[in-house]
Amino acid sequence: MSQEIISIIYWTTWFGEKQWEGYNIDNCGLPYTCQFTHDRDRATNTSVYVFHASDLTKKDMPPARHDRAWVYHNAEAPKNDQADLINQMQYSMTYRLDSDFPWGYLEQKQLLPSMTTPIVAAKPKRRASVAWIVSNCKASNYRHHFVRKLAQYIDIDIYGHCMNNQPFPDDTSTVELMSQYHFYLSIENSNCKDYVTEKLSNAYLAGTVPIVDGPSDYGPFIPNTHSVIRIDEFPSPKALADHLHKVLNNKSLYDHYLDYRKTGLSERFKATLQAFEQGRCNLCQLAHQRHQDMANNYYPGKKIYLDNTCIAHKHYRPYYSATWRAFVPLFLLTCLLVLYFFRKKLMRFINKKI
């Protein structure tokens, strides 16, 4: 006997694409399966609608009805420029652990088998000890300032669209490439509560040591207290580079960062993986509940709000740039000239008065 299929309308596109068509939530041990669809013709028999943050527009919203639950889906750092639309939603499905349906980048089924397997033989490493793969050239936290300064003290191979100094090798996956380095820069493009992306999960899969910068609290996202290197723990890029050189020259110190593969994962980390897994199951349960009793449903007595936890321009430091230093002498000369001519005019004015 086939399971009942409950439809969930994914009303918007996903970055312009119908990414979620046919996606099933079917691993929850429930006697039914939930399936996303972008087909709005099926909306009449569905009471749960999902809206992707980046594709939300005022001109393309369904009529609000008491028997429909609207779910705000956001996997990226919030832009907070849609307050009027966000406040119409009743549920959140985001990377935040405190959202109604947490759905982050750390996949339990993918990570658990990999992270609990010791690295038997180290793969040959490249000349540079640090890698960075980057596509967003306009990160709101100005992370490129930090990386540019760090690269003055330690070799970094950079792939992608920004600051790249290496071509991405053909027939090589991201994880395979990362595994060829001792360290990987898992620096998020924004510093927001719980905002951790595939940059970290890929580092775990690659068996490399992540150098992280993102939320202020990494506790829920790391397998133990010494499995990552936090940028915030160092007063400057040079201090971080000095530490990396020290670790590179001490095998036992380097292996210490990876010992979670032998000793096991923290309960807090496993709880995070479970929360992300359970989030989609809870969404499916909501869809089933609403489907069973569409006529008597009502909006829950709550609404979601803007995420104001992000730190703006965290790494904006003009002195990280060599270009800035080049203009210091010119700036000082300009100030001296201004003072000279101001003094000259002042003396003329005083002489006229006399």
Indicate whether 68 and 196 sit together in one domain. no
Per-residue pLDDT, 122: 60
Q: What pLDDT does 149 receive? A: 96
Burial of residue 3, with CB atoms counted within 10 A of its CB: 0-12 exposed, 13-18 middle, 19 or more buried: exposed
Count Cβ atoms below 10 Å from residue 5 Cβ, excluding itself: 12
> DSSP E strands: which ranges in 23-88?
24-25, 32-37, 48-52, 69-74
In a domain, 62, yes or no: yes
Q: Do both 199 and 242 map to the same domain?
A: yes
- Whether residue 300 has pLDDT greater than 70: no
d(CA 108, CA 99): 18
Q: Which domain range does residue 339 map to? A: 329-353
| Whether residue 169 sits in one domain with residue 54 | no
For residue 141, the domain's CATH number is: 3.40.50.11660
Residue 321 lies in a domain: no
**306 falls in which pLDDT band (50, 70, 90)?**
confident
Q: How many domains in the chain?
A: 3
Q: Which of 85, 104, 84 is nearest to 94 (CA)?
A: 104
* Gyration radius of the chain over CA positions: 26
Residue 132 lies in a domain: yes
Which pLDDT score, from 0 to 100, does residue 157 have? Answer: 96
Whether 153 and 74 map to the same domain: the answer is no
Do 257 and 157 belong together in one domain? Answer: yes
Choice among 180-184, 238-242, 324-328, 350-354 with the minimum mean pLDDT: 324-328
Q: Would you say residue 354 has pLDDT above 80?
A: no
Residue 304 belongs to a domain: no
- Residue 176 tokens, joined: 């395979």
- Nearest-angstrom CA–CA distance, 272 and 294: 32
**Taking Cα atoms as reference points, which of 124, 231, 238 lies closest to residue 176?**
124
Q: Are residues 48 and 177 in the same domain?
A: no
Phi/psi of residue 157, nearest 5 degrees: -90, 120
Q: Give the per-residue pLDDT at 45.
A: 80
Which percentage of the chain shows pLDDT scores above 90? 64
Q: Is 243 helix (H, G, I), strand (E, B) or coil?
A: helix
Report the CATH number that the domain containing residue 65 is assigned in CATH: 3.40.50
How far is residue 292 CA from its own chain's centroid? 36
Looking at the domain assignment, is residue 308 inside a domain?
no
According to the model, what pLDDT value does residue 9 have?
96
Res. 227: pLDDT tops 80: yes
User: pLDDT tens digit string along 176-218?
Assistant: 999 999 999 999 999 999 999 999 999 999 999 999 999 999 9
> Using one digit for the tens of pLDDT, what is the confidence trace for 103-120?
999 999 999 999 998 876
What is the reported pLDDT for 156? 96
Higher-pLDDT residue of 259 and 319 is: 259
Residue pair 88/65 in contact by the 8 Å Cβ criterion: no
- Name the DSSP letter for residue 28: S
Same domain? For 170 and 253 the reply is yes
pLDDT of residue 327: 57
Kindly tell me if the per-residue pLDDT of 328 is higher than 70: no
- Size of the chain in residues: 354
Q: Are residues 335 and 276 in the same domain?
A: no
Q: Write down the mean pLDDT value for the chain.
A: 88
Alpha helices (H) in the chain, listed in sequence order = 83-86, 108-115, 143-150, 174-178, 198-206, 237-248, 251-256, 260-263, 267-292, 322-326, 328-353
What's the predicted TM-score (pTM) here?
Answer: 0.84
User: Is residue 317 assigned to a domain?
Assistant: no
Query: Worst-scoring range by mean pLDDT, 52-66, 233-247, 257-271?
Result: 52-66
Same domain for 261 and 340?
A: no
**Does the pLDDT of residue 142 top 80, yes or no?**
yes
**Residue 130 backbone dihedrals phi, psi, to 5 degrees:** -120, 140
Instruction: Based on the fold, state whether residues 72 and 174 are members of the same structural domain.
Output: no
pLDDT at 64: 81
pLDDT above 90 (res 70): yes
Domain match, 261 and 117 both: yes
The pLDDT of residue 352: 65
Choose between 299 and 264: higher pLDDT.
264
Q: For 74-89, write each residue's pLDDT tens digit.
A: 999 887 667 888 888 9
Question: 90 and 193 share a domain?
Answer: no
**Calpha distance 91→86 (Å, rounded):** 10
